Amino acid sequence: MKLVWVHGITCCGNTHSFLNYEYLDSLLKKIDILYHPSLSVEEGNVLDAILEEKIKLDVLIVEGAVSKEDEKIKKLCHLADFVIAVGNCACYGNIPALTKADVGGLQFRFKIKGGLLGEDFVSRGGYPVINLSGCPAHPDWIVGVLLSLYNGEKLELDQWNRPKTFYSSLTHWGCTRNEYFEWKIEMEKLGSKKGCLFYYFGCRGPMTYSSCNRILWNGVNSKTRAGTPCFGCTEFDFPRIGLFETKLFAGLPVELPIGVSKRGYIMLAGIAKTFAPERLKLED
């Protein structure tokens, strides 16, 4: 399978993530990377040959936000069997799109469908742009999708064009702090091993779809496990102001966990806090 990886407006964080894949040597036996900005010496000959349709392109990966005027990336997308937007910038625009109206993702600009390619774009392989959101995307998510395409497996995508295999569960699932969340035991200081980060420190694990606590980073960790809140970087509205702060109104979080009503939250939170086990209240 022939692959090209190109950069838009990017910090290259997803390239760093990809190069951390543990079994990269094994992957490269199945996938022929014709061009990657960090792995290839020259881009001109290969990309020109693809644009002239002298070389067939199976997979195009775009990293970084794109300008609406970027005709080269647009043409490459139309020539590839499958197009993957890797990272939140390529999916939704992210930081580069905050101050520039003509910058966005490949098929979205934040929550508005469209982007560089338009909302009706479908690649030659029959998919819209496959979005692997995140800042960065996990290397296992990138490789998992590549291997699925290589093996001819069907991908199920959600409303944001993300593979359900990696984005159908909340970051909250698998978090080692869930017992503190259930009993409403707040974390007292960042980096602490105990306490939940949702109530005061802005954790968006209960409102964010990702598998960060099921497929661990470097096989061992995640933000919440390390004592840092989930910033919700796989969602269209990332980044936000006040990443380490839970916005409150009348003592209640302005945004509640997905599927939880305000009435239910008030009833359960009060009971949980009152009857929380003493062992959970002992910091570290």
Q: How many residues does the chain have?
A: 284
Annotated binding-site members for [3Fe-4S] cluster: 212, 230, 233
Tell me the pLDDT band of 93, cut-offs 50, 70 and 90: very high
pLDDT for 37: 92
Alpha helices by DSSP H, listed for the chain, are 13-19, 24-27, 44-51, 71-79, 88-92, 94-98, 139-150, 164-167, 178-182, 223-226, 262-274, 278-281
Residue 75 has pLDDT above 70, yes or no: yes
What residues does CATH 3.40.50.700 cover in the chain? Answer: 2-164
pTM: 0.94
- The pLDDT of 59-63, averaged and rounded, is 98
Contact between 245 and 218 under an 8 Å Cβ cutoff? The reply is no
Residue 27 has pLDDT above 60, yes or no: yes
Tell me the pLDDT band of 270, cut-offs 50, 70 and 90: confident
Spatial distance between the Cα atoms of 53 and 247, rounded to a whole number of angstroms: 52
pLDDT for 43: 62
Residue 284 has pLDDT above 60, yes or no: no
pLDDT for 83: 98
- The pLDDT of 236-259, averaged and rounded, is 93
Spatial distance between the Cα atoms of 255 and 262, rounded to a whole number of angstroms: 10
Annotated binding-site members: 11, 89, 135, 172, 175, 196, 203, 212, 230, 233
Spatial distance between the Cα atoms of 194 and 28, rounded to a whole number of angstroms: 41
The mean of the pLDDT values for the chain is 94
Tell me the pLDDT band of 191, cut-offs 50, 70 and 90: confident
Tell me the pLDDT band of 186, cut-offs 50, 70 and 90: very high
- The pLDDT of 106-129, averaged and rounded, is 97
For domain 2-164, is the CATH number 3.40.1380.10? no
What is the radius of gyration, based on Cα positions, of the chain? Answer: 21
What residues does CATH 4.10.480.10 cover in the chain? Answer: 169-283
C-alpha count within 13 angstroms, C-beta hemisphere, residue 142: 32
Contact between 131 and 141 under an 8 Å Cβ cutoff? The reply is no
Sheet holding 130-132, edge to edge: 32-35, 2-7, 57-63, 80-86, 130-132
Residue 89 has pLDDT above 80, yes or no: yes
Closest CA to 230 of 135, 151, 148: 135
C-alpha count within 13 angstroms, C-beta hemisphere, residue 7: 14
Spatial distance between the Cα atoms of 110 and 237, rounded to a whole number of angstroms: 6
Residue 4 is classified by DSSP as E
CATH architecture, domain defined by 169-283 = Irregular (4.10)
Contact between 211 and 166 under an 8 Å Cβ cutoff? The reply is yes
Spatial distance between the Cα atoms of 239 and 246, rounded to a whole number of angstroms: 15
Contact between 115 and 105 under an 8 Å Cβ cutoff? The reply is yes
- Residue 86: in which H helix or E strand, if any? strand 80-86
pLDDT for 283: 57
- The pLDDT of 70-74, averaged and rounded, is 96
The percentage of the chain sitting over the pLDDT mark of 90, rounded to a whole number, equals 88
Tell me the three state secondary structure of residue 179. helix
Tell me the pLDDT band of 39, cut-offs 50, 70 and 90: confident
Annotated binding-site members for [4Fe-4S] cluster: 11, 89, 135, 172, 175, 196, 203
Tell me the pLDDT band of 251, cut-offs 50, 70 and 90: confident
pLDDT for 85: 98
